[in-house]
Amino acid sequence: MRGLSGRSSALAGLFKRRRMATLDDLRAALGTRSRTTVFRTLTAVGYLSSYSHRGRYYTLKRIPKFDSAGLWHHEGVGFSSRGTLVSTVTHLVRETPAGQTHEELQERLGLRVHDTLRKLVESKQLVRERVGSVYVYLDPRRGATQLEQRRFQIVQSQQPVTRGLDLRRVIDILVAKIRHPDQDADALVAGLRRSGREVAHEDVEQVFKRYGLGKKTMSPPSRHFRR
Protein backbone atom coordinates (compact mmCIF):
# COMPACT_ATOMS: atom_id res chain seq x y z
CA MET A 1 0.00 0.00 0.00
CA ARG A 2 1.33 3.42 -0.90
CA GLY A 3 2.29 5.78 1.87
CA LEU A 4 1.45 9.47 1.87
CA SER A 5 4.67 10.32 0.04
CA GLY A 6 3.88 7.86 -2.75
CA ARG A 7 0.30 9.09 -3.06
CA SER A 8 1.46 12.72 -3.17
CA SER A 9 3.87 11.84 -5.98
CA ALA A 10 1.04 10.12 -7.86
CA LEU A 11 -1.09 13.26 -7.56
CA ALA A 12 1.79 15.43 -8.73
CA GLY A 13 2.06 13.22 -11.80
CA LEU A 14 -1.67 13.49 -12.49
CA PHE A 15 -1.73 17.28 -12.22
CA LYS A 16 1.39 17.58 -14.33
CA ARG A 17 -0.61 16.00 -17.15
CA ARG A 18 -3.79 17.96 -16.50
CA ARG A 19 -4.69 21.08 -14.50
CA MET A 20 -7.84 19.75 -12.87
CA ALA A 21 -9.41 16.37 -12.13
CA THR A 22 -12.62 14.69 -10.98
CA LEU A 23 -12.91 12.37 -7.99
CA ASP A 24 -12.83 9.35 -10.31
CA ASP A 25 -9.62 10.66 -11.90
CA LEU A 26 -8.07 11.02 -8.46
CA ARG A 27 -9.13 7.54 -7.38
CA ALA A 28 -7.60 6.07 -10.51
CA ALA A 29 -4.32 7.96 -10.05
CA LEU A 30 -4.05 6.85 -6.41
CA GLY A 31 -5.22 3.29 -7.04
CA THR A 32 -7.93 3.44 -4.39
CA ARG A 33 -11.72 3.62 -4.13
CA SER A 34 -11.52 5.26 -0.72
CA ARG A 35 -12.86 8.82 -0.69
CA THR A 36 -11.18 9.35 2.68
CA THR A 37 -7.78 8.42 1.28
CA VAL A 38 -8.23 10.73 -1.69
CA PHE A 39 -9.11 13.75 0.43
CA ARG A 40 -6.46 13.02 3.03
CA THR A 41 -3.89 13.15 0.24
CA LEU A 42 -5.41 16.28 -1.32
CA THR A 43 -5.38 18.02 2.05
CA ALA A 44 -1.74 17.15 2.57
CA VAL A 45 -0.68 18.75 -0.73
CA GLY A 46 -3.21 21.64 -0.70
CA TYR A 47 -6.18 21.73 -3.05
CA LEU A 48 -9.22 23.69 -4.23
CA SER A 49 -12.59 22.46 -5.44
CA SER A 50 -14.44 24.28 -8.20
CA TYR A 51 -17.12 26.80 -7.30
CA SER A 52 -18.94 25.81 -10.49
CA HIS A 53 -20.18 22.36 -11.59
CA ARG A 54 -21.28 21.62 -8.02
CA GLY A 55 -17.68 21.40 -6.85
CA ARG A 56 -16.98 18.26 -8.88
CA TYR A 57 -13.54 19.38 -10.08
CA TYR A 58 -10.33 19.67 -8.07
CA THR A 59 -6.99 21.34 -8.60
CA LEU A 60 -3.87 21.97 -6.54
CA LYS A 61 -3.58 25.37 -4.86
CA ARG A 62 -0.33 26.08 -6.68
CA ILE A 63 -1.86 25.72 -10.16
CA PRO A 64 -4.40 28.55 -10.64
CA LYS A 65 -3.33 32.00 -11.80
CA PHE A 66 -6.10 34.05 -10.26
CA ASP A 67 -7.29 37.33 -11.74
CA SER A 68 -7.79 40.53 -9.73
CA ALA A 69 -11.12 39.21 -8.44
CA GLY A 70 -9.54 35.96 -7.24
CA LEU A 71 -11.06 33.86 -10.05
CA TRP A 72 -9.54 31.32 -12.44
CA HIS A 73 -11.29 29.46 -15.26
CA HIS A 74 -10.08 26.37 -17.05
CA GLU A 75 -12.05 24.64 -19.80
CA GLY A 76 -15.25 26.27 -18.59
CA VAL A 77 -14.76 25.32 -14.93
CA GLY A 78 -14.43 28.08 -12.33
CA PHE A 79 -12.16 28.13 -9.29
CA SER A 80 -11.91 30.86 -6.66
CA SER A 81 -9.24 31.85 -4.18
CA ARG A 82 -12.13 32.17 -1.70
CA GLY A 83 -13.06 28.50 -2.13
CA THR A 84 -16.83 28.00 -2.22
CA LEU A 85 -19.43 29.75 -4.34
CA VAL A 86 -21.05 31.26 -1.23
CA SER A 87 -17.77 32.73 -0.02
CA THR A 88 -16.92 33.97 -3.49
CA VAL A 89 -20.24 35.75 -4.03
CA THR A 90 -20.09 37.29 -0.56
CA HIS A 91 -16.57 38.55 -1.19
CA LEU A 92 -17.39 40.03 -4.60
CA VAL A 93 -20.43 41.89 -3.27
CA ARG A 94 -18.68 43.23 -0.19
CA GLU A 95 -15.53 44.33 -1.97
CA THR A 96 -17.21 46.08 -4.92
CA PRO A 97 -17.64 49.85 -4.33
CA ALA A 98 -21.17 49.89 -5.78
CA GLY A 99 -22.35 46.38 -4.84
CA GLN A 100 -23.32 43.81 -7.48
CA THR A 101 -26.42 42.91 -9.47
CA HIS A 102 -27.20 39.30 -10.32
CA GLU A 103 -26.41 40.02 -13.97
CA GLU A 104 -22.98 41.40 -13.05
CA LEU A 105 -22.20 38.39 -10.88
CA GLN A 106 -23.43 35.98 -13.54
CA GLU A 107 -21.18 37.58 -16.14
CA ARG A 108 -18.18 37.51 -13.80
CA LEU A 109 -18.69 33.97 -12.48
CA GLY A 110 -20.12 32.33 -15.58
CA LEU A 111 -23.19 30.88 -13.85
CA ARG A 112 -26.51 31.92 -12.33
CA VAL A 113 -26.41 32.60 -8.59
CA HIS A 114 -30.06 33.46 -7.79
CA ASP A 115 -30.34 30.74 -5.12
CA THR A 116 -27.03 31.67 -3.53
CA LEU A 117 -28.01 35.35 -3.32
CA ARG A 118 -31.41 34.49 -1.88
CA LYS A 119 -29.85 32.40 0.89
CA LEU A 120 -27.28 35.10 1.67
CA VAL A 121 -30.03 37.72 1.99
CA GLU A 122 -32.17 35.41 4.14
CA SER A 123 -29.20 34.80 6.46
CA LYS A 124 -28.53 38.58 6.55
CA GLN A 125 -25.01 38.18 5.19
CA LEU A 126 -26.05 40.48 2.33
CA VAL A 127 -28.88 42.96 1.79
CA ARG A 128 -30.81 43.73 -1.37
CA GLU A 129 -32.03 47.11 -2.60
CA ARG A 130 -33.95 48.04 -5.72
CA VAL A 131 -32.26 50.73 -7.82
CA GLY A 132 -34.22 51.63 -10.91
CA SER A 133 -35.24 48.42 -12.65
CA VAL A 134 -32.73 46.09 -10.96
CA TYR A 135 -31.86 44.74 -7.53
CA VAL A 136 -28.42 45.50 -6.16
CA TYR A 137 -26.81 43.28 -3.51
CA LEU A 138 -24.84 45.09 -0.81
CA ASP A 139 -22.68 44.61 2.26
CA PRO A 140 -24.83 45.21 5.39
CA ARG A 141 -22.01 47.17 7.03
CA ARG A 142 -21.30 49.64 4.24
CA GLY A 143 -24.37 49.30 2.07
CA ALA A 144 -25.30 52.98 2.34
CA THR A 145 -21.99 53.97 0.78
CA GLN A 146 -22.30 51.31 -1.92
CA LEU A 147 -25.86 52.41 -2.68
CA GLU A 148 -24.79 56.02 -3.07
CA GLN A 149 -21.96 54.97 -5.38
CA ARG A 150 -24.37 52.89 -7.48
CA ARG A 151 -26.68 55.87 -7.93
CA PHE A 152 -23.67 58.05 -8.73
CA GLN A 153 -22.68 55.62 -11.49
CA ILE A 154 -26.18 55.68 -12.96
CA VAL A 155 -26.19 59.48 -13.12
CA GLN A 156 -22.63 59.55 -14.46
CA SER A 157 -23.61 57.31 -17.35
CA GLN A 158 -26.25 59.77 -18.50
CA GLN A 159 -25.76 62.84 -20.66
CA PRO A 160 -25.54 66.29 -19.05
CA VAL A 161 -29.07 67.60 -18.59
CA THR A 162 -28.53 70.99 -20.17
CA ARG A 163 -25.90 73.28 -21.62
CA GLY A 164 -23.97 75.21 -19.01
CA LEU A 165 -24.76 72.76 -16.19
CA ASP A 166 -21.84 70.36 -15.72
CA LEU A 167 -22.24 66.72 -14.74
CA ARG A 168 -20.52 67.15 -11.36
CA ARG A 169 -23.10 69.74 -10.34
CA VAL A 170 -25.95 67.51 -11.51
CA ILE A 171 -24.56 64.66 -9.41
CA ASP A 172 -24.24 66.91 -6.34
CA ILE A 173 -27.89 67.92 -6.66
CA LEU A 174 -29.16 64.37 -7.18
CA VAL A 175 -27.12 62.98 -4.28
CA ALA A 176 -28.44 65.76 -2.04
CA LYS A 177 -32.00 64.90 -3.09
CA ILE A 178 -31.40 61.21 -2.35
CA ARG A 179 -30.14 62.07 1.10
CA HIS A 180 -32.90 64.60 1.81
CA PRO A 181 -35.94 63.46 -0.21
CA ASP A 182 -38.35 65.80 1.60
CA GLN A 183 -36.41 69.00 0.90
CA ASP A 184 -37.53 71.42 -1.80
CA ALA A 185 -35.22 73.27 -4.17
CA ASP A 186 -34.59 76.18 -1.77
CA ALA A 187 -33.55 73.87 1.06
CA LEU A 188 -31.27 71.84 -1.21
CA VAL A 189 -29.54 74.97 -2.51
CA ALA A 190 -28.95 76.19 1.05
CA GLY A 191 -27.55 72.84 2.14
CA LEU A 192 -25.25 72.52 -0.88
CA ARG A 193 -23.92 76.03 -0.38
CA ARG A 194 -23.21 75.32 3.28
CA SER A 195 -21.10 72.34 2.18
CA GLY A 196 -19.08 74.57 -0.16
CA ARG A 197 -20.76 73.77 -3.48
CA GLU A 198 -21.67 76.68 -5.71
CA VAL A 199 -25.17 75.82 -6.88
CA ALA A 200 -27.82 78.24 -8.08
CA HIS A 201 -31.56 77.85 -7.54
CA GLU A 202 -31.96 77.67 -11.33
CA ASP A 203 -29.55 74.71 -11.45
CA VAL A 204 -31.71 72.74 -9.02
CA GLU A 205 -34.88 73.62 -10.88
CA GLN A 206 -33.35 72.41 -14.16
CA VAL A 207 -32.35 69.08 -12.61
CA PHE A 208 -35.78 68.69 -10.99
CA LYS A 209 -37.47 69.34 -14.32
CA ARG A 210 -35.20 67.00 -16.27
CA TYR A 211 -35.65 64.07 -13.87
CA GLY A 212 -39.25 64.75 -12.89
CA LEU A 213 -38.38 65.34 -9.24
CA GLY A 214 -40.81 66.78 -6.79
CA LYS A 215 -40.90 67.01 -3.06
CA LYS A 216 -41.73 63.31 -2.56
CA THR A 217 -40.31 61.62 -5.64
CA MET A 218 -36.93 60.45 -4.37
CA SER A 219 -36.91 57.32 -2.22
CA PRO A 220 -35.53 57.83 1.30
CA PRO A 221 -32.51 55.79 2.44
CA SER A 222 -33.35 52.14 3.05
CA ARG A 223 -34.25 51.07 6.57
CA HIS A 224 -31.19 48.78 6.35
CA PHE A 225 -28.84 51.74 6.25
CA ARG A 226 -30.41 54.48 8.34
CA ARG A 227 -27.97 55.84 10.85
Looking at the structure of the chain, the number of domains it has is 3
Calpha distance 72→61 (Å, rounded): 11
Does 88 share its domain with 133?
Answer: yes
Q: DSSP character for 1?
A: -
Q: What is the CATH number of the domain that holds 31?
A: 1.10.10
Residue at 147 is within a domain: no
Does 134 share its domain with 164?
Answer: no
Looking at per-residue pLDDT, the higher value among 216 and 66 belongs to 66
Nearest one of 24, 15, 90, 18 to 51, comparing CA atoms:
90
User: What pLDDT was estimated at residue 215?
Assistant: 47
User: What pLDDT was estimated at residue 151?
Assistant: 86
pLDDT at 220 over 80: no
In 10 A of CB 63, how many CB atoms?
A: 15
User: What pLDDT was estimated at residue 204?
Assistant: 85
Residues near 28 by beta carbon (within 8 Å), at least 6 away in sequence: none
Does 89 share its domain with 136?
Answer: yes
Calpha distance 216→111 (Å, rounded): 39
pLDDT digit string (tens) for 18-32? 999 999 999 999 999
In percent, the amount of the chain with pLDDT more than 90 equals 59
- Residue 8's φ and ψ, nearest 5 degrees, are -65, -40
Strand ranges inside the chain, DSSP E: 47-49, 58-60, 71-74, 77-80, 127-131, 134-138
Amino acid at residue number 77:
V
User: What pLDDT was estimated at residue 161?
Assistant: 47
Does 90 share its domain with 50?
Answer: no
Does 90 share its domain with 136?
Answer: yes
Domain hosting residue 56, numbered range: 4-60
Residue at 217 is within a domain: no
Coil, helix or strand at residue 121: helix
In percent, the amount of the chain with pLDDT more than 70 equals 89
pLDDT at 217 over 50: no
Residue at 150 is within a domain: no
pLDDT digit string (tens) for 160-186? 444 456 777 888 888 888 888 888 888
pLDDT digit string (tens) for 75-132? 999 999 999 999 999 999 999 999 999 999 999 999 999 999 999 999 999 999 998 8
